[in-house]
Structure 1
Amino acid sequence: MEKRIINPWQWQDERNYVQAVEVKNIESTLYCAGQAAVHADGRSSNADMKTQLLLAIENLEKVITQAGYPLSGIVRLNVLTTNSGELWSCFDVLQNWITKNGIQQATTLCEVKTLFETLTIELEATVVK
């Protein structure tokens, strides 16, 4: 697999994403459903944003690694949240995870009115290898 990052500017570097990712010679692609703070028994978390973000990341990692893909293969990460202000207060958690795993992804962040039950954050990824 070959990845080429397209960044006409530099300002996005501080925000831990890229403007576009071109991928060639892909062996396979994994499209992940939105992963949120849902416990292994199916219960939705009612914890604060940071705790839900950590569980959503853990769930996303589990899906990706169980499928046999590297986290560094994430090329698209969509973030849905019910409260952007609360997310910004703990956004460094997501940025540190991205940096730690060598992820270079195109990202879209959307504030939505609601997510399922008590959820406040959802992560949707496309992964290649």
Structure 2
Amino acid sequence: MQRQAVNPSDWSVKLGYNQAELIGGMTRQFICSGQTSVDDAGNLRHEGDMRAQIGLALDNLETVVKGAGMTLANVIRLGIYATDVDAALQNFDLLGARFGGHDVAPPMTLLGVTRLALPGMLFEIEATAAD
């Protein structure tokens, strides 16, 4: 798979993501449902703690992606949902560290929502990956 960043200006790169990417040579596409701050039994963890919820959601995303034989380097699109956009943005360094470690900055959308699936859930991240 080849990735070509498309950034008419660099404002998004400074925030850790590309405005778009041109993907070529792809053989498989992986679509992952929203990953949240739940344990292996589906129980919410870190209620009320945005930073901890983002960290566990990213752990869960990475685990699911690995299950397809891929890594976070294969992620080509993120959809992010947060009950508090400002709190999520204050903790986006976690995304930068996780994806930057793979030298990728996938295009993403962050949406503020009134609630997520479980009471106390603050953050959800879905992904599309390819190889």
Q: Mean Cα displacement is larger for which, 41-50 or 105-114? A: 41-50
* TM-score using structure 2 length: 0.93
Instruction: Measure, in 2, the Cα distance between the counterparts of 1:7 and 1:16.
Output: 12
Q: Does the CA-based 8 Å contact 2:80-2:126 persist in structure 1?
A: yes
- Aligned counterparts of 2:92 and 2:36: Cα–Cα separation in 1: 15
Once the two structures are superposed, what CA deviation does each residue of 1:73-123 show, in whole Å capped at 9, x if it has no partner?
Answer: 111011110001211222211221121122221110000010011210001
SS of match in other structure, 1:40: coil
Residue 109 of structure 2 aligns to a residue whose secondary structure is: strand
Identity in percent: 29
Q: 2:100 aligned with 1:123, yes or no?
A: no
Runs of 4+ in 1 over 4 A off after TM superposition: none
The aligned length equals: 129
Which segments of 5 or more consecutive residues in structure 1 lack a partner in the other structure? none
Give the CA RMSD over aligned residues: 1.1
Residue by residue over 1:29-53, the C-alpha shift from the partner in whole angstroms, topping out at 9 and shown as x without a partner, is 0000000001111102224000100
SS in 2 for 1:9: coil
Per the alignment, residue 94 of structure 2 pairs with 93
Counting only pairs closer than 5 Å after superposition, residues 1-129 of structure 1 correspond to structure 2 as 1-45=1-45, 46-117=47-118, 118-129=120-131
